Amino acid sequence: MAGRLLLFLCVSVTLGHAHFPPGQRLKPRIQRDRRNIRPNIILILTDDQDLELGSMQAMNKTRRIMEEGGTSFSNAFVTTPMCCPSRSSMLTGKYVHNHNTYTNNENCSSPSWQRQHEPRTFGVYLNNTGYRTAFFGKYLNEYNGSYVPAGWREWLGLVKNSRFYNYTLSRNGVREKHGAQYPQDYLTDLITSESIRYFRSSKRIYPHRPVLMVLSHAAPHGPEDSAPQYSNAFPNASYNYAPNPDKHWIMRYTGAMRPIHMEFTNVLQRKRLQTLLSVDDSMEKLYNMLVETGELENTYIIYTSDHGYHIGQFGLVKGENVRIFTGSTGSNGSTGSTVLNIDLAPTILDIAGLDTPTDMDGKSILTLLDTDKPLLLLVIVYRQFCWTLCVCCVTVGPFCACTSANNNTYWCLRTINETHNFLFCEFATGFLEYFDLNTDPYQLINGVSSLDRTVLNQLHVQLMELRGCRGHKQCNPRTRSVEPGTTPTQLHSYTTTQAV
Ligand SMILES: [Ca+2]
């Protein structure tokens, strides 16, 4: 099955409220008494972690901690599958069209970002209400270490993009260079030890002050340097499915991977998993620290990634995802409610007892859990520069597929409810894609030609509205009917298409 998956992008989000003796499973807390002491919040963020390739299955300690006391979301998505845009969305609770960080360079940690959006991150809001806030690790790709972002009392930010050795940190505004010695320089271990030290120290000095910590790991991002003890772990794994003549231009001109590509992806996957073992160790140390300090019962742990990753799906060797896949995996504590990266900030504020600011586009996950009403609509806005696949430089109609990043600009509408589960995408070139994931979960058949024009128009209107929405009231509309009028079976007209 795994070998037939399409491109995917997924984020495993787990809310852990782990106050349980070993071996005893408790349901996550969904009702909180805000009159009592406010809870600690710890966000664990990985970089480019896949879900469907099995990375969470490699993290036994993390799974045990989160599954026993938490909730995992099987329908968790990032709204823009790229590092800096997604991280900017997580920090602000806003869609990319409202924070305007479209790529890893464009407006990433820019003066405009610092002026307009950085003062409105969840760190700022919680800091202003008395939380002891601390950030450790990768921030935004273009962060240059010249300043400490607003909202963080303790700051250990990685300068520029993910690395495991030979990197520079900004320690509360002072640049600190690190070498290549294990364990003192290995970033995953450093983030772990520094965050645990901060938490202990904060509780010792301010025992009644809640703590917000972000542990932002480089793993499993390149250069995929594992800790020495894990350098021989894990067998091979890869995916390979191509060609795809009914997909957009990149997919049409991509063939199946050749053996040399398979060798590469197998090595890559192994190395990525190896780096995650140190994150797994980090989770265990963090958990044990919370037990020792007596803070476990009053701490929310959130585990997620800035976006997903594909290796080999549909013949694409590797890269950040260009489409979001709806996962169906999950633990006993899983929920199918749809959650987004823009929901992270409102959720953290909600845990702290704060209402969602009007300009945040996301909504609290706690609200979803309380009401058990699934969020039904989301829009994915994504723009990508020409990438490695473009070296073939084919000409598609009036477009040179290699030279125009606009060829790969698209917007998608994803709808999940009791009756529908589909993805509708409009590319800047005018190309349309539609996949009914109830009948075609791996997005093998582009069903747009089978749709009634009325339905197409409805989908287009919904997508256009969400592309320009501002604030959580506009960006979280109740789902309107997308029933195809007099042809109610139209959406399922290709139910007999085979699963390849
Ligand atoms: Ca990333």
Sorted by where each starts, the structural domains of the chain and their CATH numbers stand as 5-29+38-375 (3.40.720.10), 379-491 (no CATH)
Percent of the chain with pLDDT over 90: 43
Q: Given this model, what pLDDT does residue 498 score?
A: 18
- The answer to whether 287 and 281 have CB atoms below 8 angstroms apart is no
Average pLDDT over residues 269-292: 94
Q: Could you tell me the CA-to-CA distances from 13 to 51, 74, 129, 388, 440 in Å, in that order?
A: 10, 8, 25, 29, 24
Report the pLDDT averaged over residues 109-131: 97
Least confident of 169-178, 435-444, 480-489: 480-489
Residue 173: both structure tokens together: 């505004």
Question: What is the DSSP pairing of strand 432-436 with strand 70-77?
Answer: unpaired
pLDDT at 215: 97
Region of poorest pLDDT, from 88-102, 206-220, 364-378:
364-378
Q: How remote is the CA of residue 254 from the centroid of ligand 1, in Å?
A: 23
Which stretch of DSSP H or E encloses residue 262?
helix 259-293
Cα(47) to centroid of ligand 1, in Å?
4
Q: Answer whether residue 450 shows pLDDT above 60.
A: yes
Least confident of 88-102, 116-130, 168-182, 317-331: 317-331
Band the pLDDT of 283: cuts 50, 70, 90. Answer: very high
Of residues 186 and 240, more confidence is placed in 186
Judge whether residue 69 has pLDDT over 80.
Answer: no
Distance 494 CA to ligand 1 centre (A): 35
Q: Where is mean pLDDT largest: 276-280, 318-322, 335-339?
A: 276-280
Dihedral angle computed from the Cα positions of residues 319, 322, 325 and 329, in that order, rounded to the nearest 10 degrees: 20
What is the 214 CA–ligand 1 centroid distance (Å)?
15
Cβ(172)–Cβ(148) below 8 Å: yes
Indicate whether 499 pLDDT > 50.
Answer: no
Cis peptide before 441 (omega within 30 of 0): no
Question: From ligand 1's centre to the CA of 181, what distance in Å?
Answer: 25
Q: How far is the CA of 267 from the centre of ligand 1 (A)?
A: 19
pLDDT mean over 37-64 = 87
Q: Report d(CA 153, CA 106) in Å as an integer.
A: 27
Residues 6+ apart with CB under 8 A from 412: 323, 324, 379, 380, 382, 423, 424, 425, 426, 463
Are the C-beta atoms of 394 and 416 separated by less than 8 Å?
Answer: no
Half-sphere exposure of 487 (CA within 13 A, CB side): 12
Q: What percent of the chain has pLDDT over 70?
A: 70
pLDDT of residue 144: 96
DSSP codes joined into one string, 427-467: ETTS-EEEEETTT-TT--S--GGGS-HHHHHHHHHHHHHHH
Query: Hey, which of 21-35, 92-106, 217-231 has the most confident mean pLDDT?
Result: 217-231
Over range 30-38, report the average pLDDT.
Answer: 52
pLDDT category of residue 249 using cuts at 50, 70 and 90: low
d(CA 359, CA 90): 14
Task: Report which listed range, 11-25, 92-106, 380-394, is most confident.
Answer: 92-106
Look at 255 and 264; give whichever has higher pLDDT.
Answer: 264
**What are the residues whose beta carbon lies below 5 Å from ligand 1 (ion)?**
47-48, 83, 306
| Ligand 1 geometric centre to CA of 419 (Å) | 33
Q: Give the separation between CA 311 and CA 261, rounded to whole angstroms.
A: 10
Do residues 408 and 386 lie in contact, with contact meaning Cβ atoms separated by under 8 Å?
Answer: yes
Cα gap 434→386, rounded to integer Å: 23
As annotated, the active-site residues are: 83
